[in-house]
Chain A
Amino acid sequence: MTARVEELARQIASLEESDLQALLERVEELSFRHGINALSDRYRKRLKEQGKLNEGAEKILMQLKQIRQEIASREYQG
């Protein structure tokens, strides 16, 4: 553990319970946001490589509707 992390941990541990709870919740929120944005970056990179990144919303919606119909038709034949 680096000295900086150790110092941060000491500061956090000295917080009052309510502040500590609020801090942990905020860290969790920001960490999730960071994760979802990283996943988005990765997905967008793949779409760009496939030449699909700039497809318009209408085209995407049509493709999603088609996928929905295909899956439903396969699962609920007749």
Chain B
Amino acid sequence: MSIRDEWVVLDTNIWIFGLRRTVDCPACAELLENLNQLQVALPRQILQELQANLTEDELRVLFQLLNRLERPPKIDWQKATSEAISKYRQMGCKLGDAVLSTHLEELGIKTLITENRDFLEELTGLSFRRVNASQAMAELRAVDSR
């Protein structure tokens, strides 16, 4: 199983850094350009955060593009369950991160791509692995070179 063959969640910071082409994170833009190589899921919390950052028109264009992919994204508007949120809160997650962690667990997703250091460095015992954009790109390139 490689990163290409599993559902992954891109944290909001990846979408925003990628679209902004933030100089400090060129891999985020690179990752967005290579979305055709990933199977992306968009849980409720991420959808709402994208809504808060992008205009209605920008979102519409983004989803038109995503729906043209050979493997269109999995959109999930289900709310997270409070029991699981509590579990992640007890593990040290802030409320928002606990909600996102719950979404990943409930969707059975094992990889979160994020630049959020709370996820990357500080939390342990989560049900999914965390990689940053550079690591995700390296994994994609490794699959290509096989």
Give me the interface of A with B, judged by CB distance under 8 Å. 28-29, 31-33, 35-37, 39-40, 42-44, 46-47, 53, 56-57, 60-61, 64-65, 67-69, 71-73, 75-76
Contact = CB atoms under 8 A, between A and B. Distances in A.
Interface in B50-94: 52-55, 58, 61-62, 64-65, 68-70, 79-80, 82, 85, 94
A28 to B, nearest CB: 7
Contacts of B55: 46
Contacts of A53: 20
A39 B62 contact: yes
Nearest to B11: A64
Given A32-B36, A68-B45, A57 B22 contact: yes
B33 A44 contact: no
18 contacts: A28-B70, A32-B68, A32-B69, A35-B64, A35-B65, A40-B21, A46-B55, A53-B20, A56-B24, A60-B20, A60-B22, A61-B116, A64-B13, A67-B53, A68-B96, A69-B96, A72-B45, A73-B95
B25 interface: yes
Q: Which 3 A-B pairs have the closest CB atoms?
A: A68-B96, A72-B96, A57-B24
B49 A76 contact: no
Interface of B: 12-13, 16-25, 29, 32-33, 35-36, 45, 48-49, 52-55, 58, 61-62, 64-65, 68-70, 79-80, 82, 85, 94-100, 115-116
Contacts of B54: 43
A13 B29 CA distance: 34
A8 B3 CA distance: 36
Contacts of B82: 76
B12 A68 contact: yes
Given A64-B12, A73-B95, A39 B61 contact: yes
B49 A71 contact: yes
B48 A37 contact: no
A69 B115 CA distance: 17
A2 to B, nearest CB: 24
